[in-house]
Amino acid sequence: MTKLNENKLKRLHTASELLDEKHGKQGTPSRQKFQEEALAWYYGEILKDRRKELKMTQQELADKVGTARSYISRIEKGETDIQLSSFFKIAGALGIEFTPVYQAI
């Protein structure tokens, strides 16, 4: 079994530490901006992956939801803050369904 080098282990950083260093601490405007951009990118990836699964072009999707191809492109790249209504409209056109889950408090 390989023995771990304790000195190297002490120099390792957690993901939170790296994010704090690069984008600021939790709750700061710069960290909030990073988190919003990361979430926009993530949702764009979900929609893009599904569109590609369906072998649909951006133009075909745009035509189906009544928007511009460039808007679909910006969403897929995470370059725009998509409204929830637009997200559901695009997701619906891609056959993605959402079921609300209510949890008692």
- pTM for this model (two decimals): 0.76
On the 0-12 / 13-18 / 19+ scale of CB atoms within 10 A, 103 is exposed
Q: Where are the domains of the chain?
A: 29-93
pLDDT tens digit string along 39-83? 999 999 999 999 999 999 999 999 999 999 999 999 999 999 889
Dist CA 60 CA 62 (whole Å): 5
Q: Report whether pLDDT(94) > 80.
A: yes
Q: What is the pLDDT of residue 9?
A: 80
Among 59-63, 80-84, 88-92, 93-97, whose mean pLDDT is lowest? Answer: 80-84
Tokens matching residue 56: 């649909």
pLDDT-derived band at 31 (thresholds 50, 70, 90) equals: very high
- CATH number for 29-93 (one of 3.40.920.10, 1.10.260.40, 3.40.190.10, 2.60.40.10): it is 1.10.260.40
